[in-house]
Amino acid sequence: MKKNAPATALPKNVKAFFGQRGMLSHWHPNYEFRRGQLKMAEEVEESLETKRNLIVEAGTGTGKTLAYLVPAILSGRRVIISTGTKNLQEQIFYKDIPFLQQHFSEPLKVCYMKGRSNYLCRQKLIDTEREAILEGLDEVTECQMIREWEKTTETGDRSEIRTLPENSTAWAKLDARRELCTGQKCAQFERCFITEMHRRASESQIIIVNHHLLFADLAVKDDEFGAILPEYTAVIFDEAHEIEDTAGAYFGLSISNHQVRDLIRDVMAVARRKDFGGEELDRVLIQLQDASDQFFWLFGQSEGRSGFQNHEAFLRENEEKYRDVLNGLELAWTHLELVKSAPEDVLPLLRRARELHHALQFWVLGGDPAFVYWLERRGRGVFLQATPIDVSAVLSEKLFDRVDTVILTSATLAVAGTFDFVKARLGIPHAASLCVETQFDYQRQAMLYVPQHLPDPRSPAFLPESCEEILRILELTEGRAFVLFTSNQQMRATHERVSEQMEYPALLQGTAPKHALLEEFRGTPNAVLFATSSFWQGVDVPGDQLSCVIIDRLPFAVPTDPVVDARIRMLRQSGGNPFFDYQIPQAAIALKQGFGRLIRSKTDRGVLALLDNRITKQRYGQVFFDSLPDYGFTTRWPEVEKFFVGESL
């Protein structure tokens, strides 16, 4: 930024800000006029003024964050900005907003909101002084760290404690989740970080949230507990390609053995703390735990996800165990209702018991054909899920019909140059649209290589031969690569073979938290990271440290996944072609996300390798090529060598 640039009043419009002689040109030492950024800002400005919906694909280098932030501020409307990750949320609040504020004389009314588990509960922290809820030296040490931080923090946001372990068990006992929240009846209500967060939001014009919080708000707006966010008239979704899956999770339903166990634990803790327990309550809770164990044991021990369709047969065979859990929950809340002069802490426990009762009935009876019913086992956890097969109708009802302006933006929304896929999946038929031209010279900066000699990825011969190809590519690039997979099994098998034969440091997803692996990758010369879906998006490693992205196969969603299978069957029943209408467009967007890790600036350069040559041999491959940027392309290894070493062979 240019020094001594005086603070000024807000511009009259976005052209006065982004134009060739606009405000931005006077502020930034490396200013470069971006026609696409101005065009996007003008479209956002018009959409907010005329109350229309808008879809924008804007790739890396566009400057899309400022392109929607500035018109949102100038609109004077309360605008929710929803991001796919907390990292982007914090980047906007702590980097982009301060950049604007230091140049505007008018105070910007902006705040960010996260889910309750990100904030400290002061009442729980006080309770630790008189109750033995901490276990082990680590929890005691972490609690002391939190206690010292609580004296100075203004937000209560755990991200401020950089030294707190990501999987801190002490934090899990002290956060502000609503399961035990008594709301206005809490002694700490006025000092509560959640209260303060809502107060800031009610005074703000721009509220920055993430998709999970926004859809949690939409899901509860009509129930008795009310909304999470204050009233608003416009939403801007960044990383909008994630909306369908996030909406499905929040407009669906889930019940797990962990939820029952946590309810029992919390009832016992509150009963002990408020002195209303006794032998009868203990007996009820022990019976409930036993009934829960026996019921969830019925779903086997195999890890992973599977569909569930035989509701009637399951109920006939296991009705007694199912009824035992329902009766146990009823007895628990009946006992709580009978507590004389019940403390406020009992109310959230009653609510949770009834919600679990309702969820269990809904899932076991399985009477709503609009949902797909499935289960997942992770470790000791059994999760019974019901997900809407088609979220377009519920999004229309809860979002598009209620909010004046909804703007969707991402680097990956178009398929073969159109937005038909995202419009159909999300139920937003009437919307203006824009594809912003890229700032990058992809022909010069990136070479897409598809080797033709490899077998079909579904063949048993693919693993050993693809590993040999990966080793050849990594030898050329001297490591400095992401090797991305569509399955954990394929990732682990490839890592085991390749890491033993290459000389470069090998990092494997799952061996450390994501942020720690990224930091290690950035700080380790010639490192190679083997990873799956969570590293396909939202990861930024500019410069030579990442010079190659290898993808093992076209990222088609697993057709046997229960949610994918249900959506395929629904499309087929309605006369559509699931492969071309759903599976290919979804995979094309995912492939764009994976390849988008490589070119992050105008000086980046590198190789993109797709080991799945079906893209060149099957008719549908053209959809992928039409969706990808205009990379340099080859199927010949000498061309890759020539590109990478920068000389003729």
Higher pLDDT, 401 or 186: 401
Q: Domain 442-645 falls in which CATH fold?
A: Rossmann fold (3.40.50)
The pLDDT score that the predictor gives to residue 649 is 37
Residue 336 has pLDDT above 70, yes or no: yes
Question: Domain locations in the chain?
Answer: 1-109+204-251+391-439, 116-189, 253-388, 442-645
According to DSSP, residue 104 is labeled B
**pLDDT tens sequence across 131-162:** 777 788 888 899 999 999 999 999 999 988 88
pLDDT of residue 1: 44
R_g of the chain computed on alpha carbons:
27
- How far apart are alpha carbons 280 and 277 in whole angstroms? 8
- Weakest mean pLDDT among 6-10, 124-128, 169-173, 450-454: 6-10
What sign results for the dihedral spanned by CA atoms 53, 436, 100, 9? negative
Paired with 447 in beta bridges are 607, 632
342-365 residue pLDDT tens: 777 888 899 999 999 999 999 999
Above 70 in pLDDT, residue 3? no
pLDDT beyond 90 at 228: no
Does the fold of domain 442-645 match that of domain 253-388?
no
Band of pLDDT at residue 168, cut at 50, 70 and 90: confident
Of 42-56, 204-218, 536-550, which gets the smallest average pLDDT? 536-550
Fold topology of 253-388? Four Helix Bundle (Hemerythrin (Met), subunit A) (1.20.120)
- Three-state SS letters, 394-406: HHHHHHHCCCCEE
CA–CA dist 252, 230 (Å, integer): 23
The helices-and-strands tally (H runs, E runs) of the chain is: 28, 18
Strands (E), 404-532: 405-410, 432-435, 446-449, 481-484, 506-508, 528-531
Q: Give the span between the Cα atoms of 118 and 565, in whole angstroms.
A: 34
**What pLDDT, on a 0 to 100 scale, did the predictor assign at position 395?**
94
Output the pLDDT for position 153: 93
Residue 550, pLDDT above cutoff 60: yes
Give CATH for domain 1-109+204-251+391-439: 3.40.50.300
Q: Name the band, by pLDDT with cuts 50, 70 and 90, for residue 55.
A: very high
Share of the chain above pLDDT 90, in %: 65
pLDDT tens, residue by residue, 251-287: 999 999 999 999 998 898 888 877 887 889 999 999 9
